[in-house]
A = this chain, B = another copy of it.
Amino acid sequence: MNQGAVLIAAEPLKKFATDILTAAGMPPDDAENEAEVLVWANLRGVDSHGVMRINLYMKDIDSGLMNPKPEIKVLKETPATIFVEADHAFGAVVTTFAMERVIEKARKLGIAWGLIRNNTHQGALGYYAWMAAKQGLIGVVAVASGPNTAPFGAKTMGVSNNPIAFSLPTASYNPVVFDMATSVVARGKLRLALENSQPIPEGWAIDKNGNPTTDPSNAEALLPAGGAKGSGLSFVIECMASVLAGAPIVAPVLKGRRSTENLQNSFVMAVDIATFGDVDEYGKNVDEFINCFADLPPAEGFSKVMAPGMPEWAIWEERSKNGIPIAEGTARNLRAVASRFGVPLPVEMR
């Protein structure tokens, strides 16, 4: 834990986040939902998508980008799909809305697809995929936003690094939650290096001249994971989310017709396992695959091989028991926001 960090249990942290979000204008149920997703990320060790976002979200409410009281509208609907206008909703609010309906539809038909237009920062995507897996369905979620990554063979940005998440039911483990960005590293890692004045490895990013850089302050564009693979996946996700929603982002930004403001589009999908076979058997087979990973001999530099998402569940266990460390800077920002809205601080942060 960093110098100056405080440890807070998940429940009081969730309560605190809910109180701030409510005070900032969100209906209490929506605030609780958003707080739940933020603290879920903290519990899994993904602090870049945890309560540190609250301070940024407050600025986005002030600027009018994020809408604490959106009019979420179902634009189109079939028994297997739903197309939702988010009206700048918080990510958790509209994505939970869409995924709940998609799960319901998938239970009846085996598969369902939700398309979300004009949402804002979505937080930890894995959460929404996990919603499906907890109920015996496979969940998939992906998001499309503005360009930040150089396509394969280019020396300037031309795709987003579209995060995508999958979740799979298990029998005795926590559901598999696998999420990835299509860039070599997520932007959060660059931000962290920048904050700590640390160099970044070559291969993460290029500078404004298209040359490799190890200085995060010169990083202009991320590089795609696996070269043509990461950049091809990005192309496809933009076209399966933003373009499908009639709201392309990357090309209009590159053409100068649209700003890189933080609006996003995304899709959520669920596949119902019971439509094809036995859910318990499915879970046992996924468990066996997880166990196979643990049995593999580790490569040099690794102490064990873990199935996707398992390292984060290990952090979850630890933090559920010992509390969530809130870094000094985050705690300072949260105290300021709490003071602004007159929300009482958890005892640990006082």
Q: How often does this chain occur in the complex, in copies?
A: 2
Among B166, B180, B289, B299, point to the contact of A155 (Cβ < 8 A). Answer: B299
Distance in angstroms between the alpha carbons of A183 and B335 in the assembled complex: 46
Distance in angstroms between the alpha carbons of A273 and B244 in the assembled complex: 7
Among B111, B154, B176, point to the contact of A235 (Cβ < 8 A). Answer: B176
A346 within 8 A of B: no
Distance in angstroms between the alpha carbons of A308 and B158 in the assembled complex: 13
B226, A230: Cβ atoms under 8 Å? yes
B168, A277: Cβ atoms under 8 Å? no
B80, A250: Cβ atoms under 8 Å? no
List 14 additional A-B contacts (Cβ < 8 Å) besides A154-B299, A158-B292: A80-B110, A80-B111, A81-B109, A81-B110, A81-B276, A115-B276, A153-B298, A154-B293, A168-B239, A168-B240, A235-B289, A244-B277, A250-B289, A250-B292
The size of the chain A interface, using a CB distance under 8 A, is 80
The 3 closest A-B pairs by CB, nearest first: A225-B226, A81-B110, A232-B308
A113 within 8 A of B: yes
Q: Which residues of B contact A71 (CB under 8 A)?
A: none
Q: Within residues 232 to 254 of chain A, which ones have a CB less than 8 A from any CB in chain B?
A: 232-233, 235-236, 238-240, 243-246, 248, 250-251, 254
A282 within 8 A of B: yes
Q: Which residues of B contact A80 (CB under 8 A)?
A: 79-80, 109-112
Q: Which residues of B contact A273 (CB under 8 A)?
A: 244
Q: Output the residue of A245, A282, A308 with the most chain B CB within 10 A.
A: A308
A3 within 8 A of B: no
Determine the main DSSP class of A at the interface with B: mixed
A76 within 8 A of B: yes
Distance in angstroms between the alpha carbons of A282 and B255 in the assembled complex: 17
Q: Which residues of B contact A59 (CB under 8 A)?
A: none
Q: Which residues of B contact A297 (CB under 8 A)?
A: 154-156, 210
Q: Within residues 30 to 77 of chain A, which ones have a CB less than 8 A from any CB in chain B?
A: 76
Distance in angstroms between the alpha carbons of A250 and B293 in the assembled complex: 11
Q: Closest residue to A231 on the B side, CB-wise?
A: B308
Contact code string A177-220 (vs B, CB < 8 Å = 1, else 0): 01010001000000000000000000000000010000000000
A339 within 8 A of B: no
A276, B83: Cβ atoms under 8 Å? yes
Q: Which residues of B contact A143 (CB under 8 A)?
A: none
Among B240, B245, B285, B300, point to the contact of A138 (Cβ < 8 A). Answer: B240
